[in-house]
Structure 1
């Protein structure tokens, strides 16, 4: 699998742009609406946004040595208790992802990444490039779920087309 540092930087910018738009969409809902069980895999809009944040944090802890999030996948929907807490943690994590991507070199994407996976209950080793690609794919997947829940709640969901991402920041 061939990905490049440039690809990672574009995807890090896309991630931050999408999350900034998601933050603005969340402002149309009160805390009860954000936390309402919508029968999604991670329950609510906030639960799904928290899981996505948790996933980014766990991958960045593996890629860049940043702090691991508390708990495992089953606890991920409760990572933050409110929109305000989520916004702060999301902003910090997006900044970490952008900084990591800006410093990335091709050699950093080579070789294997090994870690203990709580999801499968064992040590895992996979190509680094595959793991990085998975992180960005995971973001897109769960933002799609949030997009659907926002639409169902009557909120204008953000533009998500990568081709329409602004070429200039601010990314955060």
Structure 2
């Protein structure tokens, strides 16, 4: 099982990575963010949108509610400004979770009866928290690969090098 220290570190890491990637994506402009690059979700924008859609679903599930379903290929936030705002709100929610979620809360199993999925299993919250962070990392790597192919320097993605982590301060 993970601990609240894990949640805290991953929330900080996630914000650091998101801040850097979103700044790179701001710099490349709307046309480049929206270009179909053959990624699973087509464009950088759509990939970042997908991350936020899944974050929203997992955060909803953690609260014991059934998340709404999005049709495949649906882009929830077509506006770059709105997507940035949603991402910041989600990073804030994870930072708050790092402060308020307890080890006991993380161990609790959560599910909500859903008439469309009557056999929905009870899953420990910690599994879903790990899924949230892992899912973000997986899709951010697709974005960094696209940025790399464009010659954009996005910086380190290694957890120990996170500014403020205290491991390798320069």
Shorter-chain TM-score: what band? 0.7 to 0.9
Query: Among 76, 86, 89, which residue is 2:83 paired with?
Result: 86
C-alpha separation in 2, matches of 1:81 and 1:102: 31
Deviation digits for residues 8-49 of structure 1 (CA, Å, limit 9, x no counterpart): 111011111111111110122121110111111111000000
Report the counterpart of residue 57 of structure 1 in structure 2: 56
**Unaligned residue ranges in structure 1 (runs of 5+):** none
CA contact (8 A) 1:109 1:128 kept: yes
Bigger Rg, which one: 2
Query: What secondary structure is seen at the aligned counterpart in 2 of 1:39?
Result: coil
Please, what TM-score do these two structures have when normalized by structure 1? 0.84
Counterpart of 2:143? 146
Structure 2 unaligned blocks of 5 or more: 166-170
Structure 2 match to 1:74 = 72
Q: Following TM superposition, by how much is the alpha carbon of 1:165 offset from its aligned partner in structure 2, in angstroms?
A: 0.5
Q: 1:132 maps to which residue?
A: 129
* Dislocated runs of 4+, deviation >4 Å: none
C-alpha root-mean-square deviation of aligned residues, in Å?
2.4
Q: How many residues align?
A: 163
